Amino acid sequence: MASFWHKSIAPLHNLLGKPQIDVRSLQTRLTAGVVLTSLVGVGAVTAWMGWRMQQIVLDSHRQRTALVADRLREDVQYYSTMMPPQEALDKVVEYRSTGDLAIWVEAEDGELMAQSEILTMGSWQAAGVSAALLSMPIVPGTEVMPVGDWRLVVCAEALDIAALPAATVYIADDITADYRGLQQLIRMLLLTSLGLISLLAIAFALYIRRALSPIRQLNRLAGQVTADTLDQPLSLATAPTELQELLRSYNLMLARLSKAWGQQKRLVNDISHELRTPLSLVQGYLESTLRRGQNLTPAQREGLEIAAAETSRTARLLSEILDLARLSNGQGVLNLEPVNLSDIVYEAVALATKTQPYPVGQVNVVDLASAVAKVDRQKLRTVLVELIDNALRYSDPQQPVQISLEQQAGWATVAIQDYGAGIPDHCQGDIFDPFYRVNEDRSRSSGGTGLGLTLVRSLVEAMGGQVSVQSQLNQGSVFTLRIPT
């Protein structure tokens, strides 16, 4: 039931409930086009039908009045042979009049020669129609005239009868009831067409929405492509032919990108690998020269020390690049085993504090829960050393660094907190990107490579964990690792 609602009613709900309409969307444009076309089409048919119906009704009344006018002339001529012409006229006028048909005859000088009785009584007189008709100028012929809220077909024709003075016969046919019925019919026709157009609009909107859904699906699929999935072509069985062509081109582009990405990774890997050996040689040579160089001048010693420090930083950079390349190639296989995390915390603290070239603050281990997780012991130690190292480097020596380990609901949480430089809000989302540094100078002078946090995130995620940061400028930072236990 829920899925039925979702499939059939939800699009309608979205359609009607959406407060904003995107005028640039294909769906809106197609729907608007279809609705406009149906409005024009159905509107034109309705208008034509209304007009035709009106014509048919009016024509039948026109014919009726014209017919009565002709008969009246013949009847008067006939009865004039049997009685005085004026009496014959009165008789025929009365005989031909009905409840909705009034007749009157006027001489050329305007004198009323005869009139139907209904003109002098009943609703014709009460509504003031008789008075209005008798006083208004009426041209010869047949026309529809509004009198008050009545509608009349009025026919005026010359009455040439030898025994009578020249006169005009007027016949008024009351078509108010027919006219109102017709108006109501046209209103109903309009309402029905509007309802029909609304239904059509909804049906077309749903149909168009459905027809465009493969585009949305394709968009979703394309949005999920990452550097690691470049080699997996997208496929959408329900896509129409036009979209299949686009999909083919898109997949070709993905294949080219995947190839280029693979070449780039291999290149970085190879270069780092090739540079590592000669660099180790240089580093060894510099260190042994410094160890045995009792007769070096202070300037030579300083120069060699700077060269040794830079070589060591570059060696570290190469090793981090290699680690990252291996992780993204899938070559950096993790050796996962159940490990007591507090042991690794202690090992990392010992390592990080021992390797600092400058005086640094104290590292305090607080709140250490006992937690066992399946991790790569050595890699997790590298992660913790990197974070502790950063915390010490970006704090003054008198500011301590605190580490805690908690275990809760299937997750172990290691927090490394410092009270140092902190990270501005707008940089916090970028610090895990390769070579991103908040303060380039400070980072370089303290031996940073700019790849430490990138490696931390890659390693932690490879072990199924997460890493996040909370920081305030000049107040300090907390880096939090969450590892599934």
Using CB under 6 A as the criterion, which residues of the chain lie in contact with ligand ADP when the complex forms? 390-391, 394, 418, 420-423, 431, 436-439, 443, 448-454, 477
Calpha distance 456→385 (Å, rounded)? 10
Instruction: In angstroms, give the least distance from the CB of 317 to ligand ADP.
Output: 9
Beta-ladder partners of 483: 412
Cβ–Cβ contacts within 10 Å for residue 97, how many? 19
Query: Smaller CB distance to ligand ADP: residue 336 or 478?
Result: 478
Give the residue with the Cβ less far from ligand ADP, 111 or 430. 430
CB of 265 to ligand ADP, least distance (A): 20
The minimum distance between CB 286 and ligand ADP, in angstroms, equals 22
Q: Which is nearer to ligand ADP, 328 or 485 (CB)?
A: 328
- Minimum CB separation of residue 327 from ligand ADP in Å reads 15
Query: Least separation, in Å, of the C-beta of 481 and ligand ADP?
Result: 13
Nearer to ligand ADP, 53 or 469 (CB): 469
- Buried/exposed 71-81: b ≥16 CB within 10 Å, e otherwise: ebbebbbebbe
- Residue for token pair 């590292």: 363
117-136: b (≥16 Cβ within 10 Å) or e: ebbeeeebeeeebbeebeee
Is 402 strand, coil or helix?
Answer: strand
Q: Give the nearest distance from C-beta 408 to ligand ADP in angstroms.
A: 24
Q: For residues 92 and 385, which CB has a smaller minimum distance to ligand ADP in the complex?
A: 385
Q: Report how far apart, in Å, the C-alpha atoms of 324 and of each of 319, 343, 375, 379, 464 are.
A: 9, 25, 18, 12, 16
Give the nearest distance from C-beta 292 to ligand ADP in angstroms: 32
Nearer to ligand ADP, 113 or 423 (CB): 423
With beta carbons less than 8 A apart as the criterion, state whether 156 and 138 touch.
yes
Task: Render 214-242 in DSSP notation, one character per residue.
Answer: HHHHHHHHHHT--GGGTTS----TT--HH
DSSP codes of every residue in 131-160: HHHHHS---SEEEEEEETTEEEEEEEEEE-
Query: Measured from the CB atom, is 314 or 485 closer to ligand ADP?
Result: 314
Q: Which CB sits closer to ligand ADP, 208 or 403?
A: 403
Minimum CB separation from ligand ADP for residue 417, in Å? Answer: 9
Both tokens assigned to 185 = 């019919």
Q: Provide, rounded to whole angstroms, the least separation between the CB of residue 384 and ligand ADP.
A: 13
Q: How far is the CB of 289 from ligand ADP (least distance, A)?
A: 27
Strands 101-107 and 167-174: antiparallel
Burial group, residue 144, by CB count within 10 angstroms (0-12, 13-18, 19+): middle
| Residue sitting closest to ligand ADP (CB) | 448
Q: Which residue, 65 or 449, is less far from ligand ADP as judged by CB? A: 449
Distances (CA, A) of 49 to 54, 106, 195, 257: 9, 39, 17, 62
Of 151 and 393, which CB lies nearer to ligand ADP in the complex structure? Answer: 393
Element at 40 (helix H, strand E)? helix 26-80
Cα–Cα dist 259/265, whole Å: 10
Instruction: Dump the DSSP string for 146-197.
Output: EETTEEEEEEEEEE--TTS--EEEEEEEE-HHHHHHHHHHHHHHHHHHHHHH
Q: d(Cα 276, Cα 476) in Å, to the nearest integer?
A: 35
